């Protein structure tokens, strides 16, 4: 059995009876058991997955109506709620938390007969870009286990890349889907803000984050978007996409499309291998008939500072609810006064979360809000204006997803400010609400390089068409695991 097939191929094979969902899922679970000791993508594995697959096979055989996923094994980042199962956010604070309801994306996928093989690792509460801040230990990069897989959706990228599932759902607050996708050589998608319901996604910085798929191919991402996007009464920030079919016309190509090359994202600090890959991507796009031109987004310089100011502020508020009273971990309250109890209980947050919560208390506080938080909001507004202006003339924007190559575990964990700079190319899409995708494009000495394309709001379909065109020019080695 070939576990390396795409989601669309899997569906075709099960539909036609060439393979059974049960076999495929059983083999997938076996694969997880074989490789995950080394990679640590999974925090929990669904013991009922094979039984659930068997039921779908029965439906296929009896000619009963089957959902569009046909038992496709999907991994889910552990900050998405699945009813009656553990949702930990890779935090000791939520080690025992059982979600009492399904996230909207989970409800939609269940309806389409997807199978959740397990919950995958992440940086605690999605704060980080290496997955090293997971309270349950880091995940490893399948291309080289000494290297970080990126983050915060590291478990998602690893599980797709190492064939422990066919597709995964992650969340992207500042690049948390695209960054690990780039580091692990998978497709990673951050949709237009509001395209996918956040109901059931445990908030980190709610005003800019989105759930996004990680898949082997751009077509698979388009398929996943078809499954999970659309307006949701449970999330007032969702937009009506009129049931857009992202898969149809995916072969439209990019002839005549104008693509802006963002200067600020290929400048100082970029790895030469990444730069040359980017140039290569540009020339490939030009050879497909696109017109590429350098453009400048002034505010990108300030975007990372604005991003961390805004996300820390929202996190400080979103994570305030974890006071260990209504749910949490076992820590008796006898003898404590309220404030001292919760201050002690909240020590169970890891060091990075704690740092960001402290920053999140500082930057919006009386006396400091004007210097930090308010300015950050204004940078966000101005950056949005700048990018909207660019999109008046251009259809797409291109940059490397991450300006540097994957680095070793432990290499940057003690230097938060140098980690900040890894985010420079990805946060713009979050701050402006634009859709962005990372496409596996090159490989430098066994380490993957991803290329990022961005489009204007609600131009997700156009973005996927362009990404598909670029993807077709690529021929990459197979992951050495």
Partner 1 sequence: MTMIGLEIHCQLTNLNSKLFCSCKANYRGFKINENICPICMGLPGSLPRLNQEAVKKATIIAMALNCSTPEKIAFFRKNYFYPDSPKNFQITQLNIYGDTSVGGTGSIMVGDKKIRITRIQLEEDPGRLIYEGSSSKNQITLVDYNRAGTPLVEIVTEPDFETPKEIRDFLNILSDILANLGVADPSLEGAMRADANVSIKGGKKVEIKNIGSFHDLEKAVHFEITRQESLHSREIEIVQETRHWDDRRKITVSSRSKEEDLDYRYFLEGDIPWVKIDPETQKTLSSQMPESISSKKERYVSKYNIPAQVADVLSSDKYYSDLFEESHTELNAKEVANIITTDLMGLVDTREKREASKFTSVHLKELADSIQSGKISKNSSKNALHEILKTGKNLTTIIKELDLGNVSDESELSGIICQVISEESQAVEQTKSNPQTINYLVGKVMQKTKGKADPSLTLDLLKKQIGI
Partner 2 sequence: MVTEEEIEHVSKLMRIDIDDHKEFVEKVHSMINYFDILDSAGVESEEISMPEISISNLRKDEHIPFDGKLIEKLNHYKGTYVRAPKMSS
With H, G, I as helix, E, B as strand and everything else as coil, classify residue 438: strand
Task: Please give the Cα distance from 481 to 247 (Å, whole number).
Answer: 30
Asked if 77 is an active-site residue, the reply is yes
Task: Please give the Cα distance from 75 to 119 (Å, whole number).
Answer: 6
Task: Give the nearer residue to partner 2 in terms of CB position, either 54 or 92.
Answer: 92
Alpha helices of 346-372 — where are they, by DSSP H? 351-362
Task: Compute CA distances 406 → 112, 129, 141, 183, 412, whole Å.
Answer: 35, 11, 9, 6, 11
The entry of partner 2, partner 1, none that residue 375 binds, CB within 5 to 8 Å by partner kind: partner 2
Phi-psi region of 229 (alpha: psi -120 to 50; beta: other; left: phi over 0): beta
- Interface characters, 228-267, with partner 1 (x: CB under 8 A): -----xxxxx------------------------------
Q: Using CB under 8 A, which of the segments 22-30, 319-327, 413-421, 455-463 binds partner 1?
A: 319-327
The entry of partner 1, partner 2, none that residue 87 binds, CB within 5 to 8 Å by partner kind: partner 1
Strand pairing partners for 118?
Answer: 45, 75
Containing H/E element for 450? strand 447-455
With H, G, I as helix, E, B as strand and everything else as coil, classify residue 340: helix
Task: Please give the Cα distance from 19 to 3 (Å, whole number).
Answer: 11
CB of 311 to partner 2, least distance (A): 12
Q: Is 332 exposed, middle or buried (0-12, 13-18, 19+ CB in 10 A)?
A: exposed
Distance, C-alpha 23 to centroid of its chain: 28
Asked if 276 is an active-site residue, the reply is no
361 binds partner 1 (CB under 8 A): yes
The answer to whether residues 85 and 52 touch, using CB atoms and an 8 Å cutoff, is no
The entry of partner 2, partner 1, none that residue 202 binds, CB within 5 to 8 Å by partner kind: partner 1
Task: Give the nearer residue to partner 1 in terms of CB position, either 205 or 274.
Answer: 205
366 binds partner 1 (CB under 8 A): yes
The residue annotated as part of the active site, out of 152, 168, 197, 438, is 152
Place of tokens 């031109």: 293
Radius of gyration for the alpha carbons in the chain, expressed in angstroms and rounded:
21
Task: Give the nearer residue to partner 1 in terms of CB position, either 243 or 339.
Answer: 339
Task: Please give the Cα distance from 211 to 122 (Å, whole number).
Answer: 14
Task: Give the nearer residue to partner 1 in terms of CB position, either 1 or 342.
Answer: 342
Task: Please give the Cα distance from 296 to 386 (Å, whole number).
Answer: 9
Asked if 236 is an active-site residue, the reply is no
The residue annotated as part of the active site, out of 75, 85, 161, 176, is 176
Q: Which of 19, 74, 81, 277 binds partner 1 (CB under 8 A)?
A: 81
170 binds partner 1 (CB under 8 A): no
- By CB under 8 A, name the binding residues for partner 2: 98, 100, 193-194, 233, 236-237, 299, 301-302, 305-306, 308-309, 316, 320, 323, 325-328, 333, 336-344, 346-347, 349, 351, 354-355, 357-363, 365, 371-372, 375-379, 381-382, 384, 416-417, 420
Query: Site residues (CB under 8 A) for partner 1?
Result: 79-81, 87, 89, 94, 97, 99-101, 103, 198-203, 206-208, 233-237, 313-314, 316-317, 320-321, 323, 325-327, 338-339, 342, 361, 364-366, 369, 373
Active site residues: 77, 152, 176
């Amino acid at each position: 059995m070939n576990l390396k097939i795409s989601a669309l191929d899997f569906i075709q094979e099960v539909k036609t009876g060439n393979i059974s969902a049960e076999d495929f899922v059983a083999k997938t679970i076996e694969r997880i058991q074989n490789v995950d000791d080394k990679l640590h993508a999974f925090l929990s594995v669904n013991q009922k997955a094979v039984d659930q697959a068997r039921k779908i096979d029965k439906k296929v055989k009896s000619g009963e109506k089957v959902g569009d996923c046909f038992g496709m094994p999907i991994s889910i980042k552990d900050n998405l709620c699945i009813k009656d199962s553990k949702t930990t956010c890779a935090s000791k604070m939520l080690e025992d938390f059982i979600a009492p309801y399904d996230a909207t994306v989970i409800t939609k996928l269940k309806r389409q007969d997807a199978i959740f093989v397990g919950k995958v690792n992440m940086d605690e509460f999605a704060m980080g870009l290496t997955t090293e801040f997971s309270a349950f230990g880091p995940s490893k990069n399948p291309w080289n286990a000494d290297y970080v897989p990126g983050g915060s959706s590291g478990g998602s990228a690893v599980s797709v890349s190492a064939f422990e599932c066919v597709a995964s759902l992650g969340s992207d607050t500042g690049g948390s889907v695209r960054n690990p996708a780039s580091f692990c050589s998978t497709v990673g998608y951050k949709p237009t803000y509001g395209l996918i319901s956040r109901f059931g996604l445990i908030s980190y910085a709610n005003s800019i984050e989105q759930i996004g798929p990680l898949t082997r191919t751009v077509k698979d991402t388009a398929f996943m978007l078809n499954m999970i996007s659309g307006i949701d009464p449970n999330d007032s920030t969702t937009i009506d996409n009129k049931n857009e079919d992202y898969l149809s016309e995916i072969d439209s190509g990019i002839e005549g499309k104008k693509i802006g090359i963002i200067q600020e994202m290929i400048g100082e600090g970029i790895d030469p291998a990444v730069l040359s890959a980017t140039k290569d991507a540009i020339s490939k796009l030009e050879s497909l008939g696109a017109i590429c031109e350098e453009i400048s987004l002034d505010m990108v310089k300030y975007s990372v500072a604005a991003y961390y100011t805004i996300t820390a502020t929202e996190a400080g508020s979103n994570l305030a609810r974890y006071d260990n009273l209504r749910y949490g971990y076992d820590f008796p309250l006898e003898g404590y006064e309220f404030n001292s109890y919760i201050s002690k209980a909240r020590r169970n947050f890891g060091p990075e979360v704690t740092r960001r919560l402290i920053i999140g208390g500082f930057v919006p506080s009386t006396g400091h809000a004007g210097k930090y938080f308010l300015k950050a909001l204004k940078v966000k507004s101005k950056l949005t204006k700048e990018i909207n202006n660019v999109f008046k003339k251009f259809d797409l924007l291109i940059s490397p997803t991450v300006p540097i190559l994957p680095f070793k575990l432990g290499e940057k964990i003690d230097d938060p400010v140098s980690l900040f700079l890894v985010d420079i190319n990805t946060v713009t899409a979050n701050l402006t609400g634009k859709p962005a995708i990372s496409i596996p494009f090159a490989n430098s000495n066994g380490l993957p390089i991803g290329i990022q394309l961005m489009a204007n709001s609600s131009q997700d379909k156009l973005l996927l068409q362009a990404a598909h065109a670029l993807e077709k020019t690529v021929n990459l080695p197979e992951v050495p695991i």
